[in-house]
């Protein structure tokens, strides 16, 4: 039982690490460098990594193609969140 808990924690830490990397790439590739927080960047990165992994596995792509789609999805998500969080001009 302790082993399965350790695996879950390591899986969460791995997802967090991947989310940070993917989120940072997505944020850097966003044209306006959106002023969103670090926590939101990590969350977007985790979501982008998850969705990109699903696409990459379903398509049978290798590591680099899957990584590229993860970054692309995170970049799109960062752009959407940045556009929605921008203050509206009257």
Per-residue pLDDT of the chain (90 residues; tens, 9 = 90+): 444 445 467 777 777 788 888 888 887 877 766 678 888 888 888 888 888 888 988 999 988 998 889 888 988 888 888 888 766 666
Let me know the angle formed at the C-alpha of 34 by 53 and 41, rounded to the nearest 5 degrees: 40
* Domain-embedded: residue 10: no
pTM, full prediction: 0.76
* Domain-embedded: residue 90: no
Per-residue pLDDT, 1: 46
Domain holding 37, by residue range, is: 28-84
* Domain-embedded: residue 63: yes
Domain count, the chain: 1
Q: How many Å apart are CA 74 and CA 30, to the nearest integer? A: 9
Q: How many Å apart are CA 88 and CA 65, to the nearest integer? A: 37
* Domain-embedded: residue 2: no
């Amino acid at each position: 039982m302790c082993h399965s808990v350790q695996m879950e924690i390591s899986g969460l830490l791995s997802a967090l690490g991947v989310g940070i990397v993917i989120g940072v790439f997505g944020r850097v590739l966003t044209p306006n460098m959106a002023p969103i927080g670090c926590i939101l960047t990590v969350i977007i990165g985790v979501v982008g990594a998850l969705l990109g992994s699903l696409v990459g596995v379903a398509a049978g792509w290798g590591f680099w193609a899957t990584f590229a789609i993860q970054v692309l999805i995170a970049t799109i998500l960062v752009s959407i969140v940045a556009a929605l969080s921008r203050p509206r001009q009257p």
